[in-house]
Copies of this chain bind each other. A is one copy, B any other.
Amino acid sequence: MSISEDEVQAELDKRRPLSTTYSTTRKERDRVRIVSGVFNGRTTGAPICMVIDNEDVDSRPYEEFRVKPRPGHADYPAIIRYGGFHDYRGGGRFSGRITAALVAAGAIAKKLLSLVGVEVYAHVSQIGRAMAGREPSVDELRRVYENPVRCAVPEAVEAMEGELRKAVEEGDSLGSMVEGYAFNVPPGLGDPMFHGLDSDLAALLFAVPGVRAVCLGRGFEAPSLRGSEFIDEYVVDHGRITTTTNKCGGVIGGLSIGTPIHVKVAFRPPSTIRKEVRTVNLMTMEATTLKATGRYDPCIGPRAVPIVESCLALVLVDHALNQGLIGAVLK
């Protein structure tokens, strides 16, 4: 398959800090270099190694967090896990920066999926109390990067921006929901039990810093509903089997059923806020406080849109490769 650094870079650029007042001021250019696995513009069959160097790293604040661990961050358990020897600079392996690698890999996965007609999108459906209010159309999803909050429902953008502005003013942060969609996934993709599409998706999504809940379709509402309300009935449409509703999010028993894969991902509000929070000085084991200065992302959702897309693409492409769908097209 042909692939270029520019194609991967275009995906990475979607993950960059938003060019608005709402986001961190760190310069993260995230320039990707493909160092192996691509030759003469085409994949060679060897593993593809891509490198994104860190730039503009100011490690000083992290010295403090070794002694005074930030609540809501992995500082404290990481010290225990690695006996204090881990690389704490920039948050280390627990930093959101690690998702740049997911997006770079996702760029290749998306391109492979496009060979079999599968398209993957995501958007922000909730920021704090502002909701999208409805499902976006495919066309709206395709234009999701046109607004800074990455919400594909145009009429909801303003309210979300308002929520963000207010939180920033108050030095606080906001939780968010990102919804991912994959269209044209053929039925029967996936495996039962340990590597169902839902298991694989959930595992990868929970690896993204800040994710606290994952559901398929309308899974968050499932406990409150009755069977007669939750069932997606089968109907024939233009000679093909489909369902009238998609509450299952396109996955049953770990297998796709041919309707769009639909996943909801709940992100916590970032833990770094400009308010005083209580913590413990690990040297003295005495109570102390922390208060962030500088600017930080007040909300994870907008920057997480390409990450959720990538997670979806990576899981689907793995199964598609395993089942020989993509090999059949490449030959």
Contact = CB atoms under 8 A, between A and B. Distances in A.
Interface of A: 36, 39-40, 42-46, 69, 71-74, 76-83, 85-87, 89, 92-94, 98, 126-129, 167, 172-177, 186-190, 192-194, 196, 198-207, 209, 211-236, 239, 241, 243-244, 248-249, 252-258, 266-273, 275, 277-280, 282, 285-287, 324, 327-328
B72 A167 contact: no
Contacts of A176: 223
Nearest to A127: B223
Contacts of A72: 227, 230-232, 248, 252
A76 B257 contact: yes
A63 B193 CA distance: 23
* Number of copies of chain A assembled together: 4
Nearest to A174: B226
A177 B269 contact: no
A215 B268 CA distance: 11
Q: By CB atoms of chain B within 10 A, which of A77, A228, A235 has the most?
A: A77
9 contacts: A71-B233, A74-B192, A173-B226, A193-B207, A202-B206, A213-B215, A234-B278, A241-B285, A248-B268
A15 B113 CA distance: 41
Contacts of A173: 226-228
A86 B44 contact: yes
B76 A254 contact: no
A218 to B, nearest CB: 8
A85 B227 contact: no
Contact of A175 (B190, B193, B223, B267): B223
A234 B76 contact: yes
Contacts of A231: 71-72, 271, 273, 277
In the A-B complex, list the 9 residue pairs whose CB atoms are closest, starting with the nearest.
A74-B253, A212-B219, A80-B188, A213-B215, A173-B227, A213-B219, A77-B255, A202-B202, A203-B203
